[in-house]
Structure 1
Amino acid sequence: MRFSPNPPPEGEGDQRSWWRGIIRERSASGALPLHHRFAAVPLPLRGRVWVLAPWIFLTAAAPQGPAINLNQLGFEPADPKTAIVEAEGGPLDWQLLDAAGNTVASGKAQSFGPDAASGATIQRIDFSGFRAPGNGYRIRIGASESAPFDIRPNLYRPLARDALAFFYHQRAGVPIEARIVGEKWARPAGHPHEIATCFAGKDERGTEWAGCPYSLDVTGGWYDAGDHGKYLVNGGISLWTLLDVVERNPKALPQAAGGAPGVLAEARYEMEFLLRMQVPEGTQLSVPVGKPKPVPGKPVWETAPPPFAAIDASGMAHQKVADRWWTALPTPPHKDDRERRLYPPTTAATLNLAATAAQCARIWRKADPAFAARCLAAAERAYAAAKRNPDVYATNSFTGSGGYGDNDVSDEFFWAAAELFTTTGKAAYRAAVEASPHFRGEAGAPSWPQVATLGTIVLATRPSTLPPAEVQRLRASLVAAADRFLADAPANGYRIPFPNRYDWGSNSNLLNRAMLLGLAFDLTGNEKYRAGVIDVADYLLGRNPNGVSYVSGYGTRAMRNPHHRFWAPSLDPNLPGPPPGVLSGGPNSTAMVDQVAMKLKGHCAPQRCWADDVHAYALNEVAINWNAPLVWVAAWLAE
């Protein structure tokens, strides 16, 4: 999952695993070097005074004027253009300056008032009426100026390609080539020719696992995040999101220059790995069956696994392949010498394979019929295996990798059935779709443990034999979800379609909402949905109270020190920082469990609970399921 397993986007997860991960990584990596212990972050109620977290030590005098935060990349000429000013008092006068310092527009800000999310008093500047293309524009208020920005067409096309390139950088099993990424980011292959067998013996709770009678070649795929684990459930939603980019618009993200993989080539690399994780036919395994029984006064992750039972595991998918113990920071992939193991199959992992393999079969049907047939056969085997074993859940029994526990797989069943029905038209899959409570439920922002909306999107936007009235109802559900997201924007000063709750990976949660806003625009043509997507992009690229771009390489103050075992120059100057287009997980005020976040806890407004620090895995890790919606949204904006 991530170093010390990150919880799901809504903040649930394996707390026990988190804390054990903290202890193990601290013992492995030692004390923080001085320049990390004094990581600069803005704290609330101090205007733009920057302090050294966590000791509240001033590093510089406060600026003479108010903070002005905006999209540091810029704006397309006809799009809405908003800057946020953190200032008390009456509405302030502003000027828009060109690169030469000439005033090309001016006006008066609009007061919003105190804002709980940012801990500041907010004013807003709307300069949407200015459309002249140019570089190096700035907003000035008194002695304060914003970061420079551009106004030009095709603003998001490079971002879409760089966000996609993240997945090439995260590849396991092959060298990352200098001719594609440049000498700086090239590295030897991590885990080449990876032949793994199942975990056997006692886990950290003392539970005995029997293992399996085979080994699998699980070479390839993407490393999930800043660690070296490869996971089915997170790989599933990430793969689906990239394939949806090209399925909704086959002309999106064509082959990049320099031989970099296009979106289909990159997606296929992960799909091949998922196929390799399927359990061979004729396999009997002993695994826990059933949901863990809650123990009064204890969280679910502290309960023992349910009783073991022998199952026909043929066609199921292993939950993950990962190190038996956490690796230290930093550890480049090709220097990871820890034991690698397959971990037990689960129903959720199996349904992720079924859904994405069915999607694969549809997309490659004409381009590569043999590959499509292979995917469809794997999808149908997996779905049948999940039906046969509907209650095999992940346990948080293993250190060295994330649990990705999910004790409700009704949404995975719906998603897989929707994909198989759309691909095959078979009555059995249609019946499963229509029998699911999710068929008539509300759509929402998808996430790896909540994938029902992926099924809704497929049924609402891809050709099938569903009655037109049902298709329209499903489309209305997606639009209704987008309307609910937009309704959250007026309540926060930075005007983003998001509630005032910043969980682990909040930036990806926001992007998943933006995906639905983009779909609502596609379905209705209503410009308010596009404006909502732009608000999300603006926030991620600098219009936030930290005044940073959460995307590396984009903006004058962009994220530079993600929690990552290879992109870690602050720990080893011989290692590179992140390449352009990598998304930080973002503010997290609900699960502040790493050593950086714990120092901020209680001292930051929700949007300010973030630090650009390699040790801040709860705030600043990267992950495939976070970058995938960035690709989707940037590609959509680039259209």
Structure 2
Amino acid sequence: MLKQKLNAYVSAIITIGASLGLAGCGATEDNSTAGVVVHPYASSIKINQLGYLPNASKIVAIPTVSARKFSVRNASGEVIKNGISSEPKPSTLSGESISQIDLSSIKDVGKYELSVDGIDETSTFEVINNRYEDLHKATLKAYYYNRAGLEITPELGGKFARAMGHPDTEVIIHPSAASDARPAGTVISSPKGWYDAGDYNKYIVNSGISTYTLLQAFSQHEDYYNSLNLNIPESNNNKADILDEIAWNLEWMSTMQDPNDGGVYHKLTTLNFSGIIMPQEGKESRFVVQKTTTAALNFAAVLAKASRVYKNIDADLSEKYEKQALAAFKWASINPAVPYRQPEDVSTGQYEDEYPIDEFAWASAELFLTTNSNSFLTSFNNVAVTPEVPSWSNSSALGYISLLFDGKQLLPEQDYQRIKSTFLLLAKRILKEHEQSAYPNSMTKVDYVWGSNGVAMNKAMVMFQAYNLTKEMAYQVAGEGLLNYALGTNPTGFSYVTGFGKVTPMHPHHRPSEADNVVKPVPGFLVGGPHSGQQDKCDYVSDLPSQSYVDHWCSYASNEVTINWNAPLVFALAHMQSKYR
């Protein structure tokens, strides 16, 4: 379907570009496995290991073949709640039957102990105001720890201090990126930016959704972020720290555009992945590789969004970003189907995407909001892309989100309501998945792909946006279920964020964490999470989709970190902190 839409859209987008002056340039469940702890660290009581905000939902899961009595005691030992868990539902994803316990009525701040009949262990949990502030700061500061071209000082980085690596002031034009104005071997400067994941390379496509999501978090929670101190080098410059962090990556992205034609290089990389080394030990030559349609459109969308965010902060920078976004869209309009093709001498991440129809829609939406030109709204409407759960390879929902939350005053009412209704169809589908799930979350078999935790957090973002649009609590509760999933209410027994929870990843596939001689990993990173692909051939304890996770450096398939998985977690935490302040 995307291919058909792309083919139909290619001629249309060229026509639109000309009008804008751009031309020329089911297995059956076996209940005998229910209640069996598959993962070595898994508790029999699946709970958010960080605790809960007073007015948030609090749904606990237990593997069992029958409903069980439970009780909750407060810190004084007094029983404050009794009940019976729900009738179990089978989960083919985890090989269990799952019963749920709803503790949402417990709203008083304090420490509690949950006991369940037939389960020897108890589970303690805390209800506390501002529960997610420290976690939220850490998930944002993870980007600071992943900055390229910067020394992490002991004053700001503590035991995770390190020397500067990869200044990227002398980067080589790879033959795949060569042009008449910039032939192969030309040296350019492209400093700053974030290391993408467990490696030390920088990729425009993955920076696209990551940077956008953080910008949207700021846009919707500006008052909250204006008072949030991340203890980064720019913390005293009278600007929101999240914007300072975003700026580090935007400044790099800005350098990845060829000023001669508006095209955007796909990535900045070494030819091969480095070994287990610290950033400052990486001395290999670095290259910018190939211009692509998806890189240009991600660039156009993000810089158009950034232009709006920075308009009242730095007018000159805002104008620069708008011009760069228009130039990138112009290049993509002329080159609407240039996919990434890995050169023979390059083996690093590809982020290949054959069908950039969703990126055309997203960039069109952002440029409409930035320029107020109806030609871009026409472009968005002509694409008619259906929103899906956001990912680096499918940005279809991002344009909808921006139009709904940034564009109400600009859009004709009929268009706004149509866009809202279409977006809510996605939210309703996710809500139905939540209601049908054995665990209190909306994760399905197709969600357990590489980066399943990123899928969970992007689903949470969709749910929270649906709540923001409708004020229907069912969406809010479904979003909270996904956040609770990431923090411990899951089959493996892990809170999937480094440094947070009773059982948390200690060996993420993240070079600085593995090479720094510090026992604990850099905190605040959401690891990829379970899926049964197991491409890394590590020693997994299970092939079941939601159990197929291993906390080991070797597991780049389940235990790597990336900037795009952290970003929707940041958004979800900002939403929770703002809603329940």
Task: Answer yes or no: same fold by TM over 0.5.
Answer: yes
Residue 449 of structure 1: CA displacement? 1.1
CA distance 1:573–1:394, shift in 2 (3 Å):
closer
- The correspondence for 1:614, drawn from 549, 553, 559, is 553
2:29 aligns to what? Answer: none
Query: CA–CA distance in 1 between the matches of 2:567 and 2:486?
Result: 14
1:600 aligns to what? Answer: 540
Letter in 1 for 2:214: L
Q: Is the deviation greater in 493-502 or in 210-219?
A: 210-219
CA distance 1:379–1:201, shift in 2 (3 Å):
closer
Residue 51 of structure 1: CA displacement? 7.0
Query: CA–CA distance in 1 between the matches of 2:500 and 2:183?
Result: 46
Letter in 1 for 2:303: A
Unpaired segments ≥5 residues, structure 2 = 1-31, 236-240
2:500 aligns to what? Answer: 554
Q: Is the deviation greater in 393-402 or in 221-230?
A: 393-402
Residue 419 of structure 1: CA displacement? 0.6
Letter in 2 for 1:546: T
The answer to whether structure 1 residue 514 and structure 2 residue 486 are counterparts is: no
Residue 250 of structure 1: CA displacement? 1.3
**Percent of pairs with identical residues:** 31
- The correspondence for 2:565, drawn from 615, 622, 626, is 626
1:421 aligns to what? Answer: 368
1:637 aligns to what? Answer: 576
Letter in 1 for 2:248: Y
Query: CA–CA distance in 1 between the matches of 2:38 and 2:95?
Result: 14
CA distance 1:391–1:475, shift in 2 (3 Å):
same
- The correspondence for 1:222, drawn from 194, 210, 216, is 194
CA distance 1:520–1:605, shift in 2 (3 Å):
same
Letter in 1 for 2:351: Y
The secondary structure found in structure 2 opposite 1:246 is helix
Matches within 5 A, 1:149-548: 149-182=125-158, 184-200=159-175, 212=184, 214-254=186-226, 255-256=228-229, 258-259=231-232, 262-281=241-260, 314-328=261-275, 330-397=276-343, 398-438=345-385, 442-463=386-407, 465-501=410-446, 502-548=448-494
Residue 140 of structure 1: CA displacement? 4.1
The answer to whether structure 1 residue 117 and structure 2 residue 93 are counterparts is: yes
Residue 477 of structure 1: CA displacement? 1.7
Is this contact kept in 1: 2:72–2:112, CA < 8 A?
Answer: no
Structure 1 runs (4+) greater than 6 angstroms displaced:
none
Is this contact kept in 2: 1:611–1:619, CA < 8 A?
Answer: yes
1:586 aligns to what? Answer: 529
Residue 470 of structure 1: CA displacement? 0.7
Query: CA–CA distance in 2 between the matches of 1:340 and 1:321?
Result: 7
The secondary structure found in structure 1 opposite 2:557 is helix
Residue 443 of structure 1: CA displacement? 2.0
Query: CA–CA distance in 2 between the matches of 1:396 and 1:98?
Result: 59
1:156-202 Cα shifts (integer Å, max 9, x gaps): 222221111111111001111222221x1111111124311122399
Query: CA–CA distance in 2 between the matches of 1:391 and 1:143?
Result: 57
Q: Is the deviation greater in 266-275 or in 143-152?
A: 143-152
- The correspondence for 2:55, drawn from 78, 82, 106, is 78
Query: CA–CA distance in 2 between the matches of 1:51 and 1:223?
Result: 31
Letter in 2 for 1:537: L
The answer to whether structure 1 residue 96 and structure 2 residue 36 are counterparts is: no
The secondary structure found in structure 1 opposite 2:511 is coil
Is this contact kept in 2: 1:355–1:417, CA < 8 A?
Answer: yes
| Greater strand content | 1
Q: Is the deviation greater in 129-138 or in 606-615?
A: 129-138
Query: CA–CA distance in 1 between the matches of 2:176 and 2:251?
Result: 29
The secondary structure found in structure 1 opposite 2:126 is strand
Is this contact kept in 1: 2:221–2:574, CA < 8 A?
Answer: no
Q: Is the deviation greater in 252-261 or in 161-170?
A: 252-261
Is this contact kept in 2: 1:98–1:138, CA < 8 A?
Answer: no
Residue 389 of structure 1: CA displacement? 1.5
Matches within 5 A, 1:128-167: 128-135=104-111, 137-167=113-143
2:238 aligns to what? Answer: none
Residue 400 of structure 1: CA displacement? 3.6
Letter in 2 for 1:446: P
Query: CA–CA distance in 2 between the matches of 1:130 and 1:219?
Result: 50
- Work out the number of aligned pairs and report it: 533
The secondary structure found in structure 2 opposite 1:258 is coil
Letter in 2 for 1:392: V
1:19-73 Cα shifts (integer Å, max 9, x gaps): xxxxxxxxxxxxxxxxxxxxxxxxx948455678xxxxxx9xxx9xx81111111
Letter in 2 for 1:155: R
1:11 aligns to what? Answer: none
Residue 377 of structure 1: CA displacement? 1.1
Matches within 5 A, 1:555-574: 555-568=501-514, 574=517
Residue 342 of structure 1: CA displacement? 1.1
The secondary structure found in structure 1 opposite 2:266 is strand
Query: CA–CA distance in 2 between the matches of 1:242 and 1:587?
Result: 25
Residue 141 of structure 1: CA displacement? 3.5
1:275-305 Cα shifts (integer Å, max 9, x gaps): 0011131xxxxxxxxxxxxxxxxxxxxxxxx
Query: CA–CA distance in 1 between the matches of 2:39 and 2:367?
Result: 54
Is this contact kept in 2: 1:167–1:266, CA < 8 A?
Answer: yes
Query: CA–CA distance in 1 between the matches of 2:355 and 2:574?
Result: 32
Residue 150 of structure 1: CA displacement? 0.8
Letter in 1 for 2:388: G
Letter in 1 for 2:60: A
CA distance 1:403–1:145, shift in 2 (3 Å):
same
**RMSD value, Cα:** 2.2
Query: CA–CA distance in 2 between the matches of 1:164 and 1:576?
Result: 21
Residue 626 of structure 1: CA displacement? 0.2
Q: Is the deviation greater in 356-365 or in 396-405?
A: 396-405
1:465-497 Cα shifts (integer Å, max 9, x gaps): 321111111112222211100111233321211
Query: CA–CA distance in 2 between the matches of 1:332 and 1:257?
Result: 23
Q: Is the deviation greater in 460-469 or in 120-129?
A: 460-469
| Greater helix content | 2
CA distance 1:146–1:347, shift in 2 (3 Å):
farther
Letter in 2 for 1:225: A
Query: CA–CA distance in 1 between the matches of 2:91 and 2:121?
Result: 22
Letter in 2 for 1:166: A
Is this contact kept in 2: 1:138–1:145, CA < 8 A?
Answer: no
1:39 aligns to what? Answer: none
1:534-562 Cα shifts (integer Å, max 9, x gaps): 10111111110111101112211112211
The secondary structure found in structure 2 opposite 1:144 is coil
Is this contact kept in 2: 1:116–1:492, CA < 8 A?
Answer: no
1:582-607 Cα shifts (integer Å, max 9, x gaps): 10110111x221021xx438x43211
CA distance 1:103–1:579, shift in 2 (3 Å):
farther
Query: CA–CA distance in 1 between the matches of 2:172 and 2:516?
Result: 36
The secondary structure found in structure 2 opposite 1:626 is helix
